[in-house]
Amino acid sequence: MIGMLVMAAGVAGGFQHPTPTPNPDLPAAVYRERRERVMKALDGCIGLIAAQGEVSGITEDFRQDADFYWLTGINEPGAYLVFAPKAPFNKVTLFLKARDPEEERWTGPREPISPDLIDKYGVDKVRRGSPERTLEGAGANHECVAIIAPPTLEKDDRGDAELAARVAQRFGLRVVYKRSLLAEMREAHGPEEIERMERAVAVTRAGHEAVAKGSVAGVSERDVQTQLEYAFFAAGATGLSYPSIVGSGPDGAVLHWDKNSRVLKEGDLLVVDAAAEYGRYAADVTRTYPVSGHFSPEQAKVYRAVYQAQEDIMAAIHPGVSMAELQHAAEESLRRAGYLKDFIHGFGHFVGLDVHDAGLYEKPLPVGAIFTVEPGIYLPDRGFGVRIEDEVIVTATGYRLLTSAFPRKLEDVEAWVAKARH
């Protein structure tokens, strides 16, 4: 027992606690500015949106949906945000669920409503309970209601969309549909978001460095996962962007392999799709590592085809191009290489508050849009797959590679692995 305590103390003493830079929490002014933009886009109509987060685990951990979080920075269920542009004073009211002292003994205390809470969230008014009374007052002073909840094809619409429609019907107001408004606004990231996403990428680089070092024959995919995730949190991660995908050999030909159970063997390729989150902002990176330290001739041919597809996609990036056009560039590149049938997914997706973030795929990309470039070739009959995934941000002149610190070229990956292991 004494030996175990000494060992534990040594580990604790050797741990370098990271200094969060920047602070993961955004100031209230950022959320206020976002809401002001939404208010202006409502053209004088009432707007309403509700929290749509999910609860998971025995401790009932709550993760707010990205739209509501983008508007408020609030991570608790049962909340509503009401926009009343023509109200004389309380144009933006935040509704939180009622306090429950018994529940709070399990989940922790919640702050009472006070001027300090209003300042904390940067709204005009904070109330608890249902927003219906406020909507009644707003309904008598507005001519229209804007439905801003994202669209759905489900049989029943979201509760906030149904409530907005009911207000319109009750007061004879015109209904205006602005269901892509939030996706469009969130697509272009501000400097404070970019700073946190760059931090998430830097933290992710530490995890992949651990993979380059530790992905040797005889260890399991789970061993690799534990090392990379430890490195994420040791470098200051505030969470995982998504469950880590660690697939060796034939597992690497499975797009979303999640068992992480196989033992690595000489000659395997190891596909690691894993990334850290910082301040709720996600990163998303995939690298393909040669377990033996070198790619075989067949593996190298496939790797170079995926790398060239990345190059061809990136060459087509500029403000005004659409994600659909970039998908076409990816397919044409892999068609020329003879691997189009082995490319089984889209070339990339938007990244932000969610790893698969909001954005409009058919419309021109704005400056500030951040997305992945991740072509892949999957050959289960040959027992391996290759994917290379990086993040780019659209600039006024083209793009900037946010993941430039990660080796991409085949020779650079081999050199990275060799250096990490010696």
Q: In the prediction, which pLDDT does 59 show? A: 81
Nearest to 196 by CA among 80, 69, 363: 69
β-pairing, 376-379 vs 384-387, is antiparallel
For 418, other C-beta atoms within 10 Å of its C-beta total 12
CB of 52 closer than 8 Å to CB of 65: yes
Q: pLDDT below 50 — which residues of the chain? A: 1-12
d(C-alpha 376, C-alpha 343), whole Å? 6
**Cβ-based burial of 71 (10 A; exposed 0-12, middle 13-18, buried ≥19):** buried
Domains of the chain: 28-186 (3.40.350.10), 188-420 (3.90.230.10)
Tokens of 28: 């209230």
Tokens of 91: 């144009």
DSSP state of 188: B
Tokens of 47: 């707007």
At residue 56, the 3 state secondary structure works out as: strand
pLDDT tens figures, 186-214: 999 999 999 999 999 999 999 999 999 99
**Cβ-based burial of 3 (10 A; exposed 0-12, middle 13-18, buried ≥19):** exposed
Residue 127: φ, ψ to 5°: -135, 170
For 388, other C-beta atoms within 10 Å of its C-beta total 24
Residues forming a β-bridge with 372: 391
Q: In the prediction, which pLDDT does 14 show? A: 63
